[in-house]
Amino acid sequence: MTKRIKAWLVEKYPAWIFLAVLLLGWEYVVAQEWVASYLLPSPTQIFQTTVELWPEIYAATLSTANSIAWGLGWSAVSGVTLALLFFAIPIVRRAVLPFCIFFQTVPIISIAPLLVIWFGFGQPTVRASAFIVSIFPILANTLTGLQETDPHLKELFRLYRPSPWQLIFKLQIPSAIPYILTGIKISAGLAVIGAIVGEFIAGGGLGSLIDAARTQQRVDLVFSGVVMSSVLALLLVFIIEVVSRVLLRGRPYLRKL
């Protein structure tokens, strides 16, 4: 395992180098006052703040992570399910899909009262927000993936008069996998934003922290929160990648990502 981790670190070295360059550049830009530090704090400043307020930031991060996991988990499950439903019953797709596009564009903040009243104040609303924001990419990508199944293979399956379930589980889902995984990765980022915005409205977690810091002009704290949320997103993408690799292990021909 340690060997693997080592290999992974080595494989990712361009990212580490780039990160280092980025941080140094950033530090320099702020040190030279090319950008005022009340707009963009330096990395060291952000780091100091993070260390200083670690207990609060840690707790907030955990709470946000929880909401994100919940929201993304459900949007993965229901996005894929919905896509299957739309795919299986075209009339439903033609009827409902436009409204999915419709709802996708509703800014969370403008339906905040509805959300809070339906889901309750606090975490439920945050979760709902993460969910709402992140379902569409999974839905759209899965749907495309299902539609792009190789027609030759579809024909082969049809010879045996498969049930819709068989067709879906043995053919269509496997061939949609690269689409689904990409959809989930796109959604991971959105779920993070959804959770943060949800917390602006319903309180708790990093969103609340960022919100408070923002009005108090604590840019260092704002960025500390932003960095933590981005770290969550990265972690999430990393987990998705690892899980999908483990799940697809021994199936190299389930086209790779």
DSSP secondary structure code for residue 212 in this structure:
H
Stretch that binds its own copies, among 50-58, 75-83, 166-174, 191-199 (CB under 8 A): 191-199
Nearest-5° Cα angle at 16, 12 to 18: 115
218 vs 211: CA distance, rounded Å: 10
Nearer to its own copies by C-beta: 99 or 160? Answer: 99
Number of H helices, E strands in the chain: 12, 0
118 vs 58: CA distance, rounded Å: 29
Query: Considering the rule CB under 8 A, would residue 212 count as an interface residue with another protein?
Result: yes
**Closest to 194 (Cα-Cα) out of 234, 164, 229:** 229
- Is there a contact between 209 and 56 (Cβ–Cβ < 8 Å)? yes
Q: Which position among 55, 107, 250, 252 is part of the footprint of its own copies (CB under 8 A)? A: 107
72 vs 190: CA distance, rounded Å: 9
227 vs 218: CA distance, rounded Å: 14
Q: Which position among 36, 77, 92, 106 is part of the footprint of another protein (CB under 8 A)? A: 36
Nearer to another protein by C-beta: 45 or 75? Answer: 45
Query: Considering the rule CB under 8 A, would residue 143 count as an interface residue with another protein?
Result: no
Q: How far is the CB of 244 from its own copies (least distance, A)?
A: 12
**Interacting residues toward another protein by CB under 8 A:** 36-39, 53, 56, 109, 112-114, 116-117, 120-122, 152-153, 155-162, 166, 170-171, 174, 199-203, 207-209, 211-219, 221, 251-254
**Interacting residues toward its own copies by CB under 8 A:** 11-12, 14-15, 17-19, 22, 35, 39-40, 91-92, 94-99, 101-107, 109-111, 113-114, 117, 136-137, 140-141, 144, 147-148, 178-179, 181-182, 185-186, 188-190, 192-193, 196-197, 200, 207, 210, 214, 219, 222-223, 225-226, 229-230, 232-234, 237, 255-257
